[in-house]
Structure 1
Amino acid sequence: MTRPQDDRLDPALLRLIGVILLGGLLGILNSTMAAVATDTLARAFDTSLSTIGWASTGFLLAVTATIPFTTWAVDRFGGRRLWLWGLALFLAGSLASGLAWNVGSLIVFRVVQGVGAGVLDPLVLILLARAAGPHRAGRVMGLMGVVLSLGPVLGPVLGGVILQGLPWRWMFLLSVPVGLVALLLALRVLPADPPLGRQRSRVRLDVLGLALLGPGFAALVLALSQTAEQGAFTAWQALTPLATGVVLLAAYTIHALRVRRTPPLIDPRLFAGRGFAASVTIMGLGGLANFAALFALPLYHQQAHGHGALAAGLLMAPVGLGGAVSMPLAGRLSDRIGARGPACAGALVAALGALVLTRVGAQTPEVWPALAAFTMGLGMGFFSAATMGSLYRTLPAPLVAQGSSVLYMLNQLGAAIGVAVVTLILQTADDLITGFHGVFLFAFAMIVVVLAAVPLLPRREDAPLRVDVPV
């Protein structure tokens, strides 16, 4: 009888959500803003594009390598302490990046920023999931999805606006006052952690697992980044980190399955749960399709219609806007009726949008690709929010940190795969429009796989996932 009252988002929870999302938005905006400044930074430091590219690549690798540490540290030190530490580190990196005096210092300070973001990004999922509880997971993840949808779209637009009117340093320095506000609000709103007593101090760190898992995933991301830069999967710059990543992750899997006294950072047996495996697969493929669209659409508007970077960024915005509109609705709906129906409907709508984008040409008025992009974003937002809600409804509290880290790392990997595949498709196509059609055929294929995986999602009444390991 008390269920409806428990399902409401009370004012205290809404304040907590707002403060966490403000901090989480900083990392997303900063990484995507910097991506549009490559040419500007290369000229400012009188260096090559490949060298300055390491400012973004270093940030991305630092994020990926730090996530497994966050999985352990949130239970060792507490969510509030770790959030404040990560936010302070990110702000220090932002300030230092804005004051960088040469390309080497910029790359180092961007890595510091990336470590801070690697703490904050998975913590957004962990803190919100724990605060929401299973009965409100869908609607809270739907609200978080607004940030995830709009962040990658707003970043390039804001970066273009800043570069048109201000020196490049302000791309990093503007994060400082916003971050300070987020830090002060977090001090006031985030609930206090339990004292660091004996029980918490016995949360042991799997040192060998950390040395294998973080660098292993970072190596895969680097391999995909180099694939996009070199234009081939077979280049040694891509094959070397790819082989390294595969070996490290294989070694981690063997280690994690054999470890007894120290709980693994992420237990591979999580994937034995059909619902968990389906959820993270859907989110990974959805992220892949989303980043493919975000990468290809600006190129289409710039090269086929002759728009500048800012206009192309604005014309790309319907993808994120569609997700921002649909995710809160889908999350709330999935709490009421389960994930399968909303996810199936969303995948069908997203597939329709991607299919329409395979038919546009150089003479197509901009309104049609914009509407198709909005439709695709609407559908992807619907199945993403429903899937995240189902994941956290069946993930027991001790496994929330592990599940969140898996989800975020696969999202990072999906983004890197999306950019690499899109780059290769466009480079090997006969012309821009043929390549553009190929990109969205690829996105359509990924969404079809999502549709096939939807029936494997947990039902609303399914029992929580069980993993027979110490947590």
Structure 2
Amino acid sequence: MTTPNSTSEPRSGARESDKIDGAVLKISSVVVLGAIMSILDVTVVSVALTTFSQEFDATMAAVAWTMTAYTLALATVIPATGWAADRFGTKRLYITALILFVIGSVACAFAWDITSLIAFRVIQGLGGGMLMPLGMTIMTRAAGPDRVGRVMAVLGIPMLLGPIGGPILGGWLIDVASWHWIFLINLPVGLVALAAAVRLLPKDEPSPSQTFDVVGMLLLSPGLALFLFGVSSIPEVGTIASARVLVSAGLGLALILGFVFHSLSKDHPLIDLHLFENRQLTIAVTTTTMFIIAFMGAGLLFPSYFIQVRGESALAAGLLLAPQGIGAMVTMPIAGRLVDKIGSGKIVLTGLPLIALGLSTFTQLTADSSYLLLTGSLFVMGLGMGCTMMPLMTAALVTLENEMIARGSTLMNIVQQTAGSIGTATMSMVLTNQLLDRPDAGTAIASREEPAIAEQVPQPMLEQGFGAAADAFAGTFTVAFLIAAVTLVPAFFLPRRRSTPTTEDVQPAMMH
């Protein structure tokens, strides 16, 4: 019987050795450099928002667009990445993305007002949006199906460093230099990554036969951008029942639905939705979506609690989050090796309970909760995260044939970006409503930024307000905890043995 692997070019490195060889490690180093820059720039700007507001004399609502514009640019460019990787080759496209990202970074450093900074963040996001899906494609192809788990663990490093290292790096650069350096730091790193990509990435073998799905691009990219714009607007307007939210998100969903019907009837769509006929990929996508909504949503709350309720600086808050990254760094390499041997199901079902356990502590927050307890809980969450994020990616991609990997990794990155935006918007809205129900909490939080308020309000009232604010955060963390707990349901159906491409897995997608 002829298997799919016998009729297509085998993936490099397949079954010859289960160890990660030097060639794959060199490729990994290039990909990790690019991914670190892209993901760090999602979070590094978060600590500079107040600085931007003062520097450019802009409102916080306007300044927030420096983050939102970057996110929307990521979502817009990701759909075309799979096709472009097949058409032009991953190496050429990766180098192009690096150049675009570095140009955008340098331009941001020389922005003269808030409008120019937002525009340059879009350029930066267009380059950054291609780096992660391309990196996943390059590494998966280089490693082969028997080592996907381990290379995904390597690629998980920047996913950890982004939310943890971003606030620390941003706070430190602003303290010792100026806000310009949170962007200029990408220039030397980007040049090193560019030189390494030219020298170390494997030669391209593009497939020019497929035509570009123009209609799909015109439906999906604006659809994603409009939907995420609507969702991202929820914290600012304070309610879902706003014309800005409903019209934007509704129109975006309509375009996305149009893309679904278009994709299912086209031979070579922008994103091949026939991939969902692969049961394992579908389960992995469902689990990933729920996990990221809970995890990324909670991730937004941690620094806010430390800064707004406990009065810590941005740098101190970033350092308090470090145990989460340390925990993930402990388990991620181990999980990567085990996934390749026993499948992703058992690993994820170990990680999710650890995440829920860590989150449970934050559902009981007070204004003076023990830092030892909180950092210990973050460490436990990190242990769980190391067993969850990249094993889910591996579960989705390991059963795909070589020619489907670019499309599969693009699909997973769209899922990540969308779920992350939904998670942060949901938790922001819940927290905002919790705080609105406790007016004294808002007064206490405002006193952190305005010393005059602290002088006018009696200390007992401030302490009561901080207690109320902690209750608001606890209530919001409870929502994240419940979502994380429910994520165990789809995770239960993940494979609990080693997975490789089979005729059953790949044939539906190949037929289309």
Asked if TM exceeds 0.5, the reply is yes
2:475 to 413, 438, 444: 438
Aligned to 1:236: 243
Q: Within 5 Å, which residues of 2 pair with 1:207-222? A: 207-222=214-229
Aligned to 2:341: 336
Q: Within 5 Å, which residues of 2 pair with 1:273-284? A: 273-284=278-289
Q: Within 5 Å, which residues of 2 pair with 1:254-265? A: 254-260=261-267, 263-265=268-270
State yes or no: 1:454 paired with 2:459: no
Aligned to 2:230: 223
Aligned to 1:397: 402
State yes or no: 1:140 paired with 2:151: yes
Q: What do residues 86-145 of structure 1 show as CA deviations (whole Å, max 9, x unaligned)?
A: 100111111111111222221211111111011112111111111111110111101111
Is the 2:230–2:247 contact (alpha carbons within 8 Å) kept by the matching residues of 1? yes
Gaps of 5+ in 1: none
Distance 1:126 1:251 in 2: 27
Is the 2:282–2:396 contact (alpha carbons within 8 Å) kept by the matching residues of 1? no
Q: What is the CA distance between 1:259 and its match in structure 2?
A: 1.6
State yes or no: 1:28 paired with 2:39: yes
Distance 1:450 1:397 in 2: 29
Q: Residue type of the partner of 1:386?
A: P
Aligned to 1:309: 314
Alpha carbons of 1:400 and 1:4: their partners in 2 closer, same or farther (altered >3 Å)? closer
Q: Within 5 Å, which residues of 2 pair with 1:3-402? A: 5-194=16-205, 200-260=207-267, 263-402=268-407
Distance 1:217 1:421 in 2: 17
Q: Residue type of the partner of 1:201?
A: P
Q: Residue type of the partner of 1:442?
A: V
Return structure 1 stretches of 4+ with deviation > 6 angstroms. none
Distance 2:100 2:432 in 1: 38
Stretch moving more, 351-360 or 123-132 = 351-360
Q: What do residues 152-180 of structure 1 show as CA deviations (whole Å, max 9, x unaligned)?
A: 21011100111111121111111111100
Is the 2:275–2:509 contact (alpha carbons within 8 Å) kept by the matching residues of 1? no
Distance 2:499 2:54 in 1: 58
Distance 2:61 2:411 in 1: 30
Distance 1:4 1:62 in 2: 38
| Identical amino acids, percent of aligned pairs | 37
2:411 to 390, 393, 406: 406
Is the 2:15–2:146 contact (alpha carbons within 8 Å) kept by the matching residues of 1? no
Q: What do residues 285-307 of structure 1 show as CA deviations (whole Å, max 9, x unaligned)?
A: 22222212221111222233221
Is the 1:61–1:222 contact (alpha carbons within 8 Å) kept by the matching residues of 2? yes
Q: Residue type of the partner of 1:257?
A: L
Q: Residue type of the partner of 2:248?
A: P
Stretch moving more, 414-423 or 459-468 = 459-468
Q: What is the CA distance between 1:50 and its match in structure 2?
A: 1.8
Q: What is the CA distance between 1:325 and its match in structure 2?
A: 2.2
Aligned to 2:3: none
Q: What is the CA distance between 1:461 and its match in structure 2?
A: 4.4
Query: Number of residue pairs matched?
Result: 464
Distance 1:371 1:62 in 2: 36
Distance 1:428 1:45 in 2: 30
Secondary structure, in 3 states, of the residue corresponding to 2:58? coil
Is the 1:145–1:328 contact (alpha carbons within 8 Å) kept by the matching residues of 2? no
Q: Residue type of the partner of 2:116?
A: S
Q: What do residues 44-90 of structure 1 show as CA deviations (whole Å, max 9, x unaligned)?
A: 11222222222221111111000011111000000100000010011
Stretch moving more, 70-79 or 400-409 = 400-409
Q: What is the CA distance between 1:468 and its match in structure 2?
A: 4.0
Higher Rg of the two aligned structures: 2
Alpha carbons of 1:16 and 1:303: their partners in 2 closer, same or farther (altered >3 Å)? same
Aligned to 1:417: 422
Distance 1:167 1:312 in 2: 19
Distance 2:477 2:130 in 1: 33
Q: What is the CA distance between 1:323 and its match in structure 2?
A: 2.1
Is the 2:216–2:263 contact (alpha carbons within 8 Å) kept by the matching residues of 1? yes
Gaps of 5+ in 2: 1-12, 439-467
Aligned to 1:467: 508
Distance 1:388 1:204 in 2: 28
Distance 1:409 1:450 in 2: 19
Secondary structure, in 3 states, of the residue corresponding to 1:201? coil
Q: TM-score, normalised by structure 2?
A: 0.87
Is the 1:284–1:407 contact (alpha carbons within 8 Å) kept by the matching residues of 2? no
Is the 1:23–1:182 contact (alpha carbons within 8 Å) kept by the matching residues of 2? yes
Q: Residue type of the partner of 2:134?
A: L
Q: What do residues 186-209 of structure 1 show as CA deviations (whole Å, max 9, x unaligned)?
A: 111011113x6xxx3322100000
Q: Residue type of the partner of 2:274?
A: R
Is the 2:365–2:471 contact (alpha carbons within 8 Å) kept by the matching residues of 1? no
Distance 1:273 1:185 in 2: 35
Q: TM-score, normalised by structure 1?
A: 0.94
Q: What do residues 338-387 of structure 1 show as CA deviations (whole Å, max 9, x unaligned)?
A: 11111111112111111122123222211101111111121122022322
Is the 1:274–1:456 contact (alpha carbons within 8 Å) kept by the matching residues of 2? no
Is the 1:138–1:335 contact (alpha carbons within 8 Å) kept by the matching residues of 2? yes
Stretch moving more, 63-72 or 278-287 = 278-287
Secondary structure, in 3 states, of the residue corresponding to 1:264? coil
Is the 2:332–2:387 contact (alpha carbons within 8 Å) kept by the matching residues of 1? yes
Secondary structure, in 3 states, of the residue corresponding to 1:6? coil
Is the 2:32–2:157 contact (alpha carbons within 8 Å) kept by the matching residues of 1? no
Q: Residue type of the partner of 1:229?
A: E
Stretch moving more, 162-171 or 246-255 = 162-171
